[in-house]
Amino acid sequence: MTHAGESDRRREFFAGARDIMPLVIGALPFGILYGVVCLTAGMSWWAAQAMSAFVFAGSAQFIAAGLVGQGTPLPFIVLTTFIVNLRHALYGASIAPHLRGLPAAWRAFLAFGLTDESYATTIVHYRDETRGDAANKHWYFLGANIAMYVCWQADTALGYWIGTALGDPLALGLDFVLPVVFIAILVPQLKSRSTISSALVAGAVAVLAAGLPNKLGLLLAIAAGILAGVLSFRAEREISIPGNEISRRDPSTPLRSAQDAPRNDKLR
Amino acid sequence: MEFALLILGMMVVTYVTRYSMIVILGRWEVPRAVTLALTFVPMAAFAAIIAPEILLHKGEIALVNARFVAGLAAILVAAFTRRILLTIIVGMGTLWIVQAFLSP
């Protein structure tokens, strides 16, 4: 490769890392809280850090730590992780056409770093033909992924350390830290009738089904929450609330990507 | 809990969600019903973990309960201020205050 080609790659890489920064900073408090929650769930620092390093999926990590704290059997945590992370398949579907022609190793490696943040940053770059260097946009994706990854690891370590330093106050209500952190994350995301319905129904079913073995109630509750959210969203759209961009969409056009779906800003 | 096994399992299923479509797809439009359904998953999962934690005491619904009062306070603060740290401080603070009154 020529020298010019190399500098194009470098430019793309750092552009990706730079463009994802606002989202990386947005994720910072969640990374820190994740570290604290792991501590209260009885996970060692190694387990918390290894989960960030190998799983690298914010909300799934939170939910898994919560389930660990409640003594949920391992297969149910893994299954819940799968369900919570299914949205990545949508991101993959949306970005796949842009990755055609890349070596398999590149695609496999980029896939590992695919997060809400890197998807949101990268898809915009791919779709805008006036931006960047078309032949090297995978370096942009890589830069975004690596910036997010490195910061998420640091956030986790910092959060666990803060939790340890808070030792005494945490011990007084150790098992309550988790629900209260979850409330702090969830409630601000409930901005529409459909999201509120989804959360209320999921919560109610979880309480009613709490007696079922093996946390089966959790899966039932998630299913009921999805159903309530979808039904309520459809009803909302029929009365066509002004300002709701989805409601103005022609129902016959399919969503082009996960990006067009209602956004749950921080909750992923 | 066997954490190595848990993390391995989580890593595998998460990677499957990320990589599968990149490999399978040429060009395929995801049905909007699927997209819509998936947006509710994290919210439903969080709510499903929170509700039993604040409403149940030894398996029974108990409203005269420090955790329920503290949870309610946290929900109100989160709904009206949307501030994460403040929500956590009020939630934990309420728990400690109510516990101090409830316990002899």
Interface check for A123 against chain B (CB to CB < 8 A): the answer is: no
> B102 vs chain A: nearest CA distance in angstroms?
15
Whether the per-residue pLDDT at A244 is higher than 60: the answer is: no
Nearest residue to B84 (alpha-carbon basis) of A120, A177, A150, A117: A177
Amino acid identity at B40: F
Q: Taking each helix axis as running N to C, give the angle between helix A45-54 and helix A21-40, from 0 to 180 degrees, rounded to the nearest 10.
A: 140
Using the beta-carbon criterion (under 8 Å), do A186 and B18 form an inter-chain contact?
A: no
CB B42 within 8 A of CB A267: yes
> In chain B, which residues have their Cβ closer than 8 Å to the Cβ of A97?
25-27
Query: What would the mean pLDDT of A167-192 be, rounded to a whole number?
Result: 84
CB B4 within 8 A of CB A54: no
Distance CA B2, CA A79 (A): 16
Residues 6+ apart with CB under 8 A from A208: A217
| HEC profile of A166-232 | CHHHHHHCHHHHHHHHHHHHHHHHCCCHHHHHHHHHHHHHHHHCCCCHHHHHHHHHHHHHHHHHHHH
Closest CB to B87: pick one of A172, A183, A228. Answer: A183
pLDDT at A96: 87
pLDDT at A202: 96
> In chain B, which residues have their Cβ closer than 8 Å to the Cβ of A222?
41, 44-45, 48
How many percent of chain A have pLDDT more than 70? 87
Whether the per-residue pLDDT at A151 is higher than 60: the answer is: yes
**First-residue to last-residue Cα distance in chain A:** 39
Mean of pLDDT over chain A: 84
Distances (CA, A) of B15 to A104, A115, A203, B2, B24: 15, 11, 28, 20, 14
Whether the per-residue pLDDT at A197 is higher than 70: the answer is: yes
Distance CA A9, CA B50 (A): 45
pLDDT at A257: 41
Longest Cα–Cα distance of chain A, Å, equals 66
Distance CA A110, CA B64 (A): 51
Token code pair at residue A92:
């993959």
Taking the CA of residue A196 as centre, how many other CA atoms within 13 Å lie in the half-sphere pointing to its CB? Answer: 7
Q: Which residue of B has its CA nearest to A103?
A: B23
Amino acid identity at A30: F
pLDDT at A176: 87
Instruction: Count CB atoms within 10 A of the CB of residue A25.
Output: 10
Return the DSSP state at B66: H
Residue A81: band (very low, low, confident or very high) from pLDDT cuts 50, 70, 90:
very high
**First-residue to last-residue Cα distance in chain B:** 36
Token code pair at residue B40:
């509710």
CB A88 within 8 A of CB B17: yes
Query: What would the mean pLDDT of A93-118 be, rounded to a whole number?
Result: 90
Find how far residue B26's CA is from the centre of its chain.
35
Distances (CA, A) of A205 to A60, A197, B63: 20, 12, 17
